[in-house]
Chains A and B, each alone.
Chain A
Amino acid sequence: MSKSILYDSTLCIGCKACEGACAERWGLPYNDRIAAEEKISAHKLTAIETHGERFSRRLCMHCEEPACASVCPVGALQKTALGPVVYDPDKCMGCRYCLQACAFQVPSYEWNSRLPRMRKCDMCYERQTRGEPTACSAACPVGATKCGDRDALVAEARQRIAAKPGAYYPKIYGLNEVGGTSVLYLSAVPFEQIGLRTNVPQGPLPALTWRVLELVPDVVSTGSVLLGGIWWITNRRAEVAKAEGKRK
């Protein structure tokens, strides 16, 4: 069973307890100035955004088929069976393809560091392996962020929509976006109104590059035979021409 987070924007009161808990779990500084920054960055891995009177939360979406993990040339990013997409800073060479590839613009880079790392939420992988909930969901005083098995959370999200059809926009963000994510959103209004990207493809992104990459063995094998053959023919022709030229 893969772990997920359900964030219900209609319940969120914007108290930013999740931000504080997240900073504490990572050992990152957290103060009023940082709390006022409404965007995720290398020193703030989750952020509450204000959209009029509504709130939204940004964090890594932990895609079912993450683009970041597929593009990482050194395999520093991995989708774990447990659900979180985890990062190994010791492998990372800093190509920043993950930043480029992420449809949600989640990964952040330590731009001003001499030995920089990529930073992003890891859905409290360590805590979850011990069976504990994520720091953010444990800290949420109103249950707006809830942690659990994905199937159960999807079912619960559907239930909430069915129970109060007037209070919810009737869709779950993350159910099919980029082939499904492990972070799911509920909202009272269409998702773009709370700052979520709604133009992302509905299918998994890694397929887009794999379609080409899987041709590599074919190109190599067919290419070798073809080029070798052409060389053999043209070279033979030249030799014959030379020999005939000599005979004359």
Chain B
Amino acid sequence: MTGRLPKLTIWRAIFAAIMVCALYATYLRVVYGLGGATNLSDRFPWGLWIAFDILCGVGLASGGFTLVAIVHIFNIERYKPVLRPAILTAFLGYSLVVVALLFDLGRPDRLWHPLVMWNPHSVMFEVAWCVTLYTTVLFLEFIPVVFEKLGWHKPLTWIHNISVPLMIAGVLLSTLHQSSLGSLYLIVPEKMYPLWYSPTLPAMFYISAIGVGLAMTIFESWHSSRAFGRALELPLLASMGRVLAVLMSAYLWLRFLDLSRRHVLDLLTVNRTETWLFLLEIALMAVPTVLLFQKSIRMSPGALYACSVMVVFGFIANRLNVGVTALEAGSGTNYVPKWSEVSITLAIVAAGFAIFRLVAQHFPIFEAHSPELAYPEVGEREEHRVAVG
């Protein structure tokens, strides 16, 4: 561990392989344009990069606003130990969404255009503004961690002074754009398969984002407890699992109500790819929901982890279904991502994991792991009062 060269492990080898492939894919994207790096077409203009990198990326990062709301607005202090990792995930998630956008936009050099050229009638315009502002908010919510590490007290106080409006803005911005990612698809009623097209898409996207935010928090805590050899906050995570179960039941019930009100339940008897992928999505969310209602499952770290992973995959299945599956038949195409699309997506996910690990190693992210005593320069009172982070 003391040597300069990092030890070669299987994970590092995989990571390097992913990055090399992504580098070549980036070359293709830059030199040969979107046509050279993707299987997108006029009839299928949004593929994996939108459906996964953007829709899932933003959703999986929603733990940030969920936990800020729980800990600081509802003042449920006992969730505090998992707040910082959630904020870090969110900040990383949003930064990586911006990276993904640079790949997906035809003219990445014009990423800033929506900030100056306005069209308030566009959902995308609203999403662009919310994501920009919220990434700024996340930066400000995260930066106290860095200040603490460096022992800079002044800027800590500055941020503390604006922390309440900042947190409220963060929750509101998230509410707006998490739901707006669903609203993006409201304009294609005739293209989208009826199992997914619904006027309630914005609400469904919002509720499921909160759910997956909680699931991701459990997921991270479990992984970091293993990676950094710290104790798992099991009672805390278990109670989060209970909230998740209630939330997901409400979500699934609303999905069912929505399908029945739109009289499309009979589509489930049709033997089509859409039906099976829909059932997969629902099963991935319903199974952990049922399991999480059992106390024995919630109190078992492995089972709790498995349930949170299932919810995460159910969420990903939902977003991929909305972004890809639901639109294939209606646009008369069959889209399968090119290897380079998959490669860039994998690289972004891998980078997310790697940066998270790196930051968690060097900054006070897990409070249980690094008690206040480790940072005597930040007094306990101040530590307590710095609401953000």
Contact = CB atoms under 8 A, between A and B. Distances in A.
Interface of A: 41-42, 67, 70-76, 91-97, 99-101, 103, 105, 107-117, 197, 199-201, 205-206, 208-213, 216, 219-220, 223-224, 227-228, 230-231, 234-235, 237-238
A238 B125 CA distance: 40
15 contacts: A71-B121, A71-B122, A73-B119, A74-B125, A109-B106, A112-B36, A113-B33, A206-B187, A209-B123, A209-B183, A213-B121, A220-B176, A223-B171, A231-B73, A237-B75
B252 interface: no
B171 A100 contact: no
Contact of B176 (A70, A76, A199, A216): A216
A211 B97 CA distance: 27
Given A70-B121, A210-B121, A93 B171 contact: no
B123 A91 contact: no
B186 A223 contact: no
B188 interface: yes
Contact of B74 (A72, A101, A224, A230): A230
B121 A96 contact: no
Given A75-B122, A112-B32, 19 more contacts: A42-B42, A71-B124, A72-B119, A93-B105, A94-B108, A96-B46, A101-B188, A112-B33, A115-B107, A209-B121, A209-B122, A209-B186, A211-B186, A212-B180, A212-B186, A220-B172, A220-B176, A224-B172, A238-B77
**Nearest 6 interchain pairs by C-beta:** A94-B106, A111-B35, A234-B75, A99-B45, A112-B35, A93-B110
Nearest to A112: B35
A117 B42 CA distance: 12
- B114, B126, B180, B187 interface centre (most CB from chain A within 10 Å): B187
A224 B168 contact: yes
A114 B31 contact: yes
B176 A219 contact: yes
Contacts, number: 174
Given A73-B128, A74-B117, A93-B111, A231 B122 contact: no
A100 B45 contact: yes
Contacts of A211: 186, 199
B187 A200 contact: no
A105 B42 contact: yes
Given A73-B122, A209-B123, A109 B42 contact: yes
A97 B77 CA distance: 42
Contacts of B77: 238
Nearest to B114: A73
Given A73-B119, A209-B183, A109 B74 contact: no
A109 B33 CA distance: 11
B289 interface: no
A15 B39 CA distance: 33
Nearest to A71: B122
A118 B171 CA distance: 35
A220 B46 CA distance: 29
B319 interface: no
Interface residues of B, number: 60
Contacts of B202: 212
B190 A93 contact: no
Contacts of A228: 164, 168
- B40, B75, B127 interface centre (most CB from chain A within 10 Å): B75
Contact of B34 (A73, A111, A197, A216): A111
A113 B188 CA distance: 27
A71 B187 contact: yes
Nearest to B169: A224
A73 B73 CA distance: 32
Interface in B165-190: 167-168, 171-172, 175-176, 179-180, 183-184, 186-190
B46 A100 contact: yes
A214 to B, nearest CB: 9
A79 B104 CA distance: 26
Contact of A227 (B121, B168, B180): B168
A237 B111 CA distance: 45
Contact of A231 (B72, B119, B172, B190): B72
A209 B121 CA distance: 8
Contacts of B43: 105
Contacts of B121: 70-71, 206, 209-210, 213
B173 to A, nearest CB: 9
Contacts of B262: none
Given A111-B33, A116-B106, A95 B117 contact: no
A75 B199 CA distance: 25
B120 interface: yes
B33 A116 contact: yes
A208 B171 contact: no
Contact of B171 (A113, A216, A227): A227
B14 to A, nearest CB: 31
A230 B167 CA distance: 12
Contacts of B171: 223, 227
Nearest to A93: B110
